Amino acid sequence: MPLKSTFINRTSLVQHQRGRYGCPLLFPEPTGETCPINHADWTKGGCKLVMSTAPGARIRYLLDRENERYQTVYKQRTAVERIFSQAVALGIERPKLRNQQAIANLNTLTYVLINLRAMQRILEADRLSKR
């Protein structure tokens, strides 16, 4: 969508620049085409969007979530989050040990336990599928 104008958003905790984006069929010049999705605001000047102009904020709108590469990375990320939640449930988030070596040993044992549980689930599923 083409950028129509910008302004400083002062209503949030951190002031930042936001932009008003307009319908590409009507801005900067009307193309004469009609809206392919029959947008409800077509008669009022087409679709409009207000979002941050920072590149990091815009990427959320520009990502192709159907892309195979995105799907692969998303699956990896959710797998890591599941492992972290298991680690938190086992008490690794705030260890009550005093030195770095003891904490490292506890973390290693915790991750070995998580891997053993995963292997146990895989072997159990394999055993059930052979029945």
My answer on whether 22 and 49 are in the same domain is: yes
Q: Which of 15, 37, 62 is the last residue of a domain?
A: 62
> Torsion angle, CA of 109/113/114/119, rounded to 10 degrees?
140
Q: Are residues 80 and 120 in the same domain?
A: yes
Mean pLDDT of the chain: 86
Which of residues 1 and 124 earns the better pLDDT score? 124
Domain stop point among 62, 84, 106: 62
**ω before 28 within 30° of 0 (cis)?**
yes
Res. 112: pLDDT tops 80: yes
What digits encode the pLDDT tens for the residues 60-96?
878 889 999 999 999 999 988 988 888 888 877 777 8
pTM of the shown model: 0.51
* pLDDT tens column, 13-39: 888 899 988 888 888 888 888 888 888
